[in-house]
Every structure is written in structure tokens, then in C-alpha cells.
Structure 1
Amino acid sequence: MRRAWSLPHRLGRPLAEADPKPDRDYADTAIARMQATSGISGKQPGDPVRACAAIIQTVEDEIRPRHLVLGAFGVETVCGKLAGVVENQCLEGDQPRRGLSRE
């Protein structure tokens, strides 16, 4: 979801405009990271307006989910993780593990 998370402080200067003075030992990697980060900040996929609407709707609903997964990346990640848990913990091959029943 788009957001300006790479701002060096609340004054709103882009990270690329910051005056980086990283520790000498980390200067090369710190500056490279700052430059890479500033190039994508504000351009992330997702729609923050839709995300906010989903959050507000969830808060206002009488029954709320324990977790609110937003965006295609989030949904794909959670579904992939859950599929792995089911496969690893609940199944032996394509059959339920002994002691587990779907009934």
C-alpha cells in the first residue's frame, strides 16, 4: 500500500534529500539503501483509500475478525502460509492424519 515511509523526519523531506552521515563502516550500504528506498516510496501497489475503508468497516462491524489481511500480497502470503500449515500439520499425503477427522 502506498505510503511515505521513507521520510527522514516529519518535515516531509524525501529520504534522497536527507544529508546522510552514516557511520563510516556502513556508509556504502546505508547510502545505497537510502537511495533505493527513496525510489519506491509512495509508489507501492495498493490503494490506501480502499484499505482505510476496509479498516473502518471492520472496526464498525459487530463481529470483527482476529486479523485483517489487506491487499493481494497479504492475502497470497496468508493463504500460502495456511496451506502449508494444513499440509504439514493436518494431512498425511491426501488423507487426514490419524486422530484428526473432518467430521
Structure 2
Amino acid sequence: DELFRAAEEGDLDVVKELIEDTGPEVREEDTNATLLHAAAANGHVDLVIFLLTLISPNTTDNNGQTPVHVAAREGQLPTLEVLLKDEQFNAERLDNSNRSFKDL
């Protein structure tokens, strides 16, 4: 949908506008991924910084992966650095395959 497309493209202004109606905790229907997962997967640092004020870095998708797992898997190093610095991040979190973000 339009909101996830904006997150995937890193369009901070559109995301801010659309979440006024939906709230930040919307999820993709098939994967249960959050907007933070989408922004992290695509390396949008500014959007990740904004979304971290609204969404926990420990939230998981259907695979048990956090946005940190997704950023690591996709090789989004600047985004990964931002996520790892978040004081709420649980570095011990494993996905459904018992992998940490370091395994990806």
C-alpha cells in the first residue's frame, strides 16, 4: 500500500502524513513487517531515526526478525549502526531460526 511504499522509498514526509491516519504500528499483511522493517531493509537512515521514536527496535515480523536482522541481512550498514545504538535494542534477540543479527 501507499504507506509501505513510502517507507521503502524513504519518503519521510509522506510517511509522517499517512501515519497521522493509521498510526505507526501498521504491519504488512503477508510478512507482519512494520514500517521500521521496510525502512531498515532499504537503508533509509533518516526515516529509521524518525520511526525509532514510534516503533520498538525489537518488534518482529513473521520470521521473528527485528529491523536490525533485516538491515544486517540486506547489508544496510549505516542503518544497522543507527539501530544498534538505540538504547531499547535487545542484542540477544534471535529470529525463528535461532539466528542473531550477527549471523546474517
TM-score normalized with structure 1 length: 0.23
TM-score normalized with structure 2 length: 0.23
Q: Which has the larger radius of gyration?
A: 1
